[in-house]
Structure 1
Amino acid sequence: MKANTSTETALVAERCWDGLAETPSGHTEVLVRGGRIVEVGDRVGRGTGQVVDLGDRLLLPGFIDCHMHTTVDPSALLTAFVADPATVITLRALPVLRDLPDRGFTTVRDLATFAAEPITIYLRDALANGLIIGPRMLVAPHLISARGAHGDISTLLAPEYGREIGVLADGAAALTRAVREEIRTGADWIKFGAMFPHHRNWREFPAMVHTGISPLRALRAATSTAADLLQRPDLGRIRPGATADLIAVRGNPFDDIDATGGVDFVMHDGVVHRPVAMA
């Protein structure tokens, strides 16, 4: 859903992290208009629009997951793509997509489906047009691999299925043709190589910190750094001109990274997706 271009919303928080700074700042107000951040400061012109008081919550940019497979069910993995039609696979992805913004993920990059049809393209476009609920999607429709290479996962199926999975291409001419086909379907990205299910989302934050990565680096990885990777400088930051994807948590992930699992406010594209719960 896109915000009305004339609607203004002011977010007021006692703590804010802009996606770049080494530590959060204090009292911050963010003015949003038409899906964009137009002003950030100690005090912004609130006008007659809605004011959302986030209290002591930490305001930060919406999270970005650069490696997801929204149509891959880990419990069924490959067999579902042989047994189920594309419509069933697509419908099964809807609750996955609907749940992502609630956990603070406002943008995801989906790196391929096993289905023959480019169903993630259809999902991306349905999200952009407000037909279904979920995050912004950037899509690599299929995994492209040479036969017998590590991206050819057909051998993982029982021999009786007798079919190939994915987009398989041998030689330069076939690879070029496969890439052009992906582009023609509307691909944002092209993917070569291996594919694995990826559904952990926010749990990756504590996983990274527990391996020695600092909370700052982990948070940047899902905000400003991820936006740079996706070549979307309008995402992953709280600053004038940025897309108004904003979330809030009660705790402080710089002190306790598990606080990333406690998102209780979400604004996506300037529209409040998850309002602050009433006390």
Structure 2
Amino acid sequence: MRRPATAPLGLVLALGAIPWAHAAAPEPLALHCERLFDARNGRMLGAHTVVTREGKVTEVRAGRVDVPGTRTVDLAGHTCTPGWTDLHVHIAEQSSPESYEEDFRLDPVDFAFRSVEYARRTLMAGFTSVRDLGGTVAPHLRDAINQGLVPGPRIWAAGKSIATTGGHADPTNGYNSALSHLVGPPGPTEGVVNSVEDARQAVRQRYKEGSDLIKITATGGVLSYARSGDAPQFTVEEAKAIVDTARDYGYRVAAHAHGAEGMRRAVEAGVTSIEHGTYMDDEVMALMKRKGTWYVPTIYAGRFVAEKAKQEGYFPPVVRPKAERIGALIQQTAGRAYRNGVRIAFGTDMGVGPHGDNAREFGYMVDAGIPPAYALQSATYFAAQVLGVDDQGVIEPGKRADIVAVPGDPLQDIGATLKVDFVMKDGVVYRQP
């Protein structure tokens, strides 16, 4: 997205005073699902009973089965799937015509309070996990959610994105000379690097701040206050230093990238995923397949910014042509990548558009030629692989009790994903018919 606010904060925990915020302890449940999506194999099964105890799935039994010691939840007419994961969100931001001046007018605390509502909407939409790819609020919100102080999805937080001077995540882009002189040039602490040594320091700073992964902006971006949306912005050596240092700390690296050359450098360096990928060419696709790199298209964001670029005054003049040119291309790139065998996982770049609309990405993926079963796998089983975890993404004994139910069969009508009736996270029911 655009640059995040960079001031430190620690106020999300104050929201624990809100009485509805505290999650109840999970009770033993038996979910009667009319259909069950097998995310591991990408197929739809018939009626099943899913038993959950203490936050885990303990049994998955064919048919409607009465299970002593549990409360039955009747999901007749519904399909149960694993809880969905959005691998690309900005949980503390939401674009508007006022977005660019709000960073100067609002405090980080304001964004923190907003993020609580955004997190609730995301969870209610069926997304039990997200990767927040750039923002200083998310690590604090993550902790508040984990402590049961506010409801929301499980968050993997990148913290401040790592950029180069003038790059997509340089927090001083658009400053005039007087303000630039006042704040001084940002460095690795602020996530701006210009050498291999800077790159290593920036990763270590993210570790110090409690990030869960690393995000780099390998090319220019659409919504940053800068002219180029696709020029490469790291050398191969800088990108490799980030990936190698991240590996020392057990981190994976996600790379924002629109231009092919920036993608190529990031993939050569060993990043886990390419985000957006607008100008991905055949050479990059072949390289990603060889290296096992995931692609997270964020079709929703592309369509959203292309549409808003038609609205006078929504974006600054320097941003508007990029939004028109780049945004409209992502959907066709995603379809071409799928046909070429690139591994695709689910992400929206939500925060560009309204939080809670995340499931619209499923429909856009299908419109691009991606089968509905694959689209669902991209937000479940495949997403868990991108995160590097094996305790979620499938409904199987021993896995997290993250379960979503929608009316009808989403393999026949992907629009069912917009009608979430049931949401369970870690065995706690947050939404039910």
TM-score (norm 2): 0.59
Query: Which residue in 1 is equivalent to 2:201?
Result: 177
Change over 3 Å in CA distance of 1:153–1:38 after alignment to 2: same
Q: Residues 57 and 249 of structure 1 are in contact (CA less than 8 Å); yes or no, is this contact kept in structure 2?
A: yes
Determine whether 1:202 maps to 2:224. Answer: no
Matched residue SS, 1:143: coil
Amino acid at match of 1:20: R
The correspondence of residues 180-191 of structure 1 with structure 2, limited to 5 A, is: 180-191=204-215
Query: Which residue in 2 is equivalent to 1:41?
Result: 61
Q: State the Cα distance separating 1:89 from its structure 2 match.
A: 1.1
Q: 1:60-106, CA deviations, whole angstroms, 9 ceiling, x for partnerless residues?
A: 11110000001122114343222211111101111110111111000
Q: Residues 209 and 215 of structure 1 are in contact (CA less than 8 Å); yes or no, is this contact kept in structure 2?
A: yes
The correspondence of residues 160-171 of structure 1 with structure 2, limited to 5 A, is: 161-162=179-180, 167-171=191-195
Matched residue SS, 1:17: strand
Query: Which residue in 2 is equivalent to 1:146?
Result: 164
The correspondence of residues 73-112 of structure 1 with structure 2, limited to 5 A, is: 73-75=94-96, 76-112=98-134
User: Which range moves more in the overlay, 73-82 or 234-243?
Assistant: 73-82
Q: State the Cα distance separating 1:20 from its structure 2 match.
A: 2.4
Amino acid at match of 1:13: C
User: Partners of 1:37 and 1:160 in 2: how far apart?
Assistant: 58
Greater share of helix: 2
Query: Which residue in 2 is equivalent to 1:257?
Result: 414
Matched residue SS, 1:174: helix
Q: State the Cα distance separating 1:186 from its structure 2 match.
A: 1.0
Matched residue SS, 1:10: strand
Q: State the Cα distance separating 1:149 from its structure 2 match.
A: 3.2
Q: 1:157-196, CA deviations, whole angstroms, 9 ceiling, x for partnerless residues?
A: 5666545785212212222222111101111001111666
User: Partners of 2:58 and 2:196 in 1: how far apart?
Assistant: 47
Amino acid at match of 1:48: G
The correspondence of residues 119-130 of structure 1 with structure 2, limited to 5 A, is: 119-130=137-148
Determine whether 1:32 maps to 2:52. Answer: yes
Q: 1:113-157, CA deviations, whole angstroms, 9 ceiling, x for partnerless residues?
A: 1xxxx3211100000001011111110001111113344363345
Ranges in structure 1 where 5+ consecutive residues have no aligned partner: none
User: Partners of 2:176 and 2:41 in 1: how far apart?
Assistant: 51
Q: Residues 3 and 269 of structure 1 are in contact (CA less than 8 Å); yes or no, is this contact kept in structure 2?
A: no
TM-score (norm 1): 0.90
Question: How many matched pairs?
Answer: 271
**% identical equivalent positions:** 34
Amino acid at match of 1:133: P
Which of 400, 403, 406 is the equivalent residue of 1:243? 400
User: Partners of 1:120 and 1:176 in 2: how far apart?
Assistant: 22
Ranges in structure 2 where 5+ consecutive residues have no aligned partner: 1-21, 224-300, 302-348, 351-356
Query: Which residue in 1 is equivalent to 2:290?
Result: none
User: Partners of 1:241 and 1:36 in 2: how far apart?
Assistant: 6
Change over 3 Å in CA distance of 1:272–1:150 after alignment to 2: closer
Matched residue SS, 1:155: coil
User: Partners of 1:48 and 1:243 in 2: how far apart?
Assistant: 20
User: Partners of 1:42 and 1:73 in 2: how far apart?
Assistant: 43
